[in-house]
Structure 1
Amino acid sequence: MGCGAGKVLPEASVKGYVSVVQSLVAFSRAKGGDEGLKKKTRGTWFSTGDKNPAPEPKSQGQTLRDGRKLDRVAKYKDTFDPRVTARYDIKALIGRGSFSRVVRVEHRATRQPFAIKMMEVELPEGREVCASELAVLHRVSHPNVIQLIQVFQSPQRVYVVLELATGGELLERVVSRGHFTERDATRALQMALAGVGYLHRLGITHRDLKPENLLYYHPGAESRLLVTDFGLASFGGAEKVSDDTRGTPEYMAPEVLLRKPYTCAVDMWALGVVAYIVLSGTMPFEDDSRTRLYRSIVRGKCSFHGDPWPSVSNLAKDFIQRLLQVDHATRLTADQAIHHPWVANMAPSSSMRNLHRSISRNLRQRLSRSSSRCPSSAASAASSASSASSASRKLRSRNEERETSANFRRREK
């Protein structure tokens, strides 16, 4: 998800892949294939996913239903702070999180589109996420970092006006384009590294980098990629110890899981995981058991077996391995990574093979496995990507995550 919602930890490992289903469906239908993918998901966060099908003739019942829907929309708009509605026309709800909702809006004077993230701050955890995100957004100005436009504050809620990114998440773009090569991957990673490197120079550690927090500004081929969601960000270049293992487990660096001092190098580990996924549609570290997952991450042994890895260049694999270093001191920094020959020279030794089919197939298989393990998992994960989870559920999930992490560290000792 983009730009700072609360996260439902038990479902986080599935969530990033479920958001790609809509793009997979669209591509499969365009090609006339894979009738098994019939599920749809709502657009997530700043990826509006707007569709404009031709309207069907309305029956009287439909007209009544539409009338009630308009009434609900009007009542919903009435809940906004008048200072917000005086400047912005509320268009659509495009995302939800545990402590936030995101709406697409238009500035009344300029008609320029924006996103407003409404953050609930009555609960301490909501205030913490909001404070972390605003502390970053007030400081940053970079083409590859989401830009803050304006803030409205009230005792119960903070309205954060942001750039509206309509180009979709990183993996959505990979799947929907129908053709994807190593060179395409390096273009995306160049932009991600530029944004992350800028944050690191400011002493900001993102702490939750993953494909769904990397969003394209617009659907065009030349769109810039934006780093979003700073709800878990931290400041200061010195080493620090994580207060808990918040974030998405599959992207966590070994030092975070072991509750050791960490630096901005945790972001570079996460980008290594992102690069692995973008090139293959699979995760370098994955297991149904959270304890086994943590153990494999701490060991840092990822494999390059299975399709499409035999066709991926050695330089690409070297880039990933240099990021997935268990010793954070030996990991590439953002500046070093952007100058790695695979990135800097845009995959010079790659075969230029189209990896799209393999990536899409691997994503489908992963979603199918998740669904078979729990019949409702795919549906619940899709729902979690577009609907709010209660604060009590999030707190309970976090407590369970802490307990699992503590048990793992005791065993490792």
Structure 2
Amino acid sequence: MANDQQLKGLLTQDNCALSVDIKTEPISHYYDVQTRPFARGKFAQVRRCVHKETSRSYAAKTIKKRRRATDASHEIMHEIRVLLTTSQSPRIVTLHEVYETPTEFILMLEMAEGGELQRILDEDDSVTEHHCRRIVRQVVEAVQYLHRFNIAHLDIKPQNILLTNPFPAGDIKLCDFGISRILTKGAELREIVGTPDYVAPEILQYEPISLATDMWSIGILTYVLLSGHSPFAGDTKQETYCNITNGPLEFPSYLFNQVSEEAKDFIQQLLVRDPNGRVNCHDCLKHEWLTNNTETNGSINLSFLDVYRSYRCIKSDKFDLIIDENCITN
């Protein structure tokens, strides 16, 4: 059974009034499930399945209950409750049903036919700033809805952004709330979570997490989409951490020569090391770059993706952190 410390930052039956209907019948009674997963993580796999009566496709996310010999059911239930809490948002993936077996939970999620945003970065096609603006605007809308409930996602990155239809027609759906946390007034929450390239300085410095932690990640995401390059990536994770806490934010001409000044200003408003100095979602949506619908001719330079790709397979989770003292700012 989880203790109070383990439940800190999680939605439980004590702080979430929404009821969770969990089915225990085999999903094969109702769905045809593909054997091969189309996505997988350290503790989860996602398979396409088709409802036998409606012929509608869903994404079945199977999550192991035990992680590192520890029962993680409370963390999975938290993810389920976050999805139920945000079910009215068109920018967040919808939870259809939940099944439970002795060893796993199975979340039946809406199928986003356009796949992960990461695929766009993996292709050799260029992407216009106009399309990037639309994606980022929708991501901010998703995060804004999440923040209404004082929930921080803590793992915003291209792999956790789905497209409802093939790019560029599809809208986005934010997904994967496994390491999200609810922030309670008067209670500080410190955890080492996230994906190295996207993690905020306060995470690395073991300072309190806030909703502003997500805003840093949106800034990184925007930089990556506009340039095909991660702003603080180093040759090692240690170097990346040092760059995040101390390195300068630069916009080299070979990456940003066709990117607007408004887009660069938008990023600068987000990649502020003091969380109190970052703009919030409301301010982002009023920023000149997101309110400007003029289509630009500039496109992402995808010839510099190799550095970024070397980091994209790093799993999101609580990660071991050893930071050189020179990386820590006072």
TM-score, normalization by structure 2 = 0.83
Inter-CA distance 140–167: structure 2 relative to 1 (3 Å threshold): same
Q: Deviations over 1:56-104 (max 9, x none)?
A: xxxxxxxxxxxxxxxxxxxxxxxxx753111111124212222211110
Inter-CA distance 342–138: structure 2 relative to 1 (3 Å threshold): same
| Aligned-pair CA distance for 1:365 | 5.7
Higher RCO (CA-CA < 8 Å; seq separation 6+): 1
The aligned runs of 1:234-253 (5 Å cut-off) are 234-236=181-183, 238=185, 241-253=188-200
| Residue equivalent to 1:167 | 114
In structure 2, C-alpha distance between the alignment counterparts of 1:340 and 1:297, rounded to whole Å: 24
Q: Which ranges in structure 2 are unaligned for 5 or more consecutive residues?
A: 1-23
In structure 2, C-alpha distance between the alignment counterparts of 1:408 and 1:147, rounded to whole Å: 43
| Residue equivalent to 2:77 | 131
Q: Is the 8 A contact 1:294 1:408 kept in 2?
A: no
Q: Which ranges in structure 1 are unaligned for 5 or more consecutive residues?
A: 1-80, 371-376, 386-393
In structure 2, C-alpha distance between the alignment counterparts of 1:112 and 1:220, rounded to whole Å: 22
Inter-CA distance 227–288: structure 2 relative to 1 (3 Å threshold): same
In structure 2, C-alpha distance between the alignment counterparts of 1:282 and 1:321, rounded to whole Å: 16
2:230 corresponds to 1:283: yes
Q: Is the 8 A contact 2:190 2:208 kept in 1?
A: no
In structure 1, C-alpha distance between the alignment counterparts of 2:253 and 2:122, rounded to whole Å: 19
Corresponding residue SS for 1:266: helix
Q: Is the 8 A contact 2:190 2:203 kept in 1?
A: no
In structure 1, C-alpha distance between the alignment counterparts of 2:123 and 2:134, rounded to whole Å: 16
In structure 1, C-alpha distance between the alignment counterparts of 2:247 and 2:280, rounded to whole Å: 18
Inter-CA distance 180–277: structure 2 relative to 1 (3 Å threshold): same
Corresponding residue SS for 1:93: coil
In structure 2, C-alpha distance between the alignment counterparts of 1:219 and 1:252, rounded to whole Å: 28
In structure 2, C-alpha distance between the alignment counterparts of 1:366 and 1:236, rounded to whole Å: 31
2:181 aligned partner, one-letter code:
S
Q: Is the 8 A contact 2:246 2:328 kept in 1?
A: no
Q: Is the 8 A contact 1:103 1:115 kept in 2?
A: yes
| Aligned-pair CA distance for 1:297 | 1.3
In structure 1, C-alpha distance between the alignment counterparts of 2:150 and 2:306, rounded to whole Å: 38
| Residue equivalent to 1:87 | 30
- Pairing partner for 2:174 from 211, 227, 249: 227
Q: Is the 8 A contact 2:140 2:281 kept in 1?
A: yes
1:103 aligned partner, one-letter code:
R
% identical aligned pairs:
29
Corresponding residue SS for 2:132: helix
Corresponding residue SS for 2:58: strand
Q: Which has the higher strand share?
A: 2
In structure 2, C-alpha distance between the alignment counterparts of 1:155 and 1:297, rounded to whole Å: 42
Higher Rg of the two aligned structures: 1
| Residue equivalent to 1:99 | 43
Corresponding residue SS for 2:37: strand
Q: Is the 8 A contact 1:207 1:232 kept in 2?
A: yes
| Residue equivalent to 2:137 | 190
Inter-CA distance 118–319: structure 2 relative to 1 (3 Å threshold): same
TM-score, normalization by structure 1 = 0.67
The aligned runs of 1:332-371 (5 Å cut-off) are 332-346=279-293, 348=294, 352-356=296-300, 358=301, 360-364=302-306, 366-367=308-309, 370=310
Q: Which has the higher helix share?
A: 1
Q: Is the 8 A contact 1:239 1:263 kept in 2?
A: no
- Pairing partner for 1:151 from 98, 101, 121: 98
C-alpha RMSD over aligned residues: 2.7
2:274 corresponds to 1:303: no
Count of equivalent residues? 303
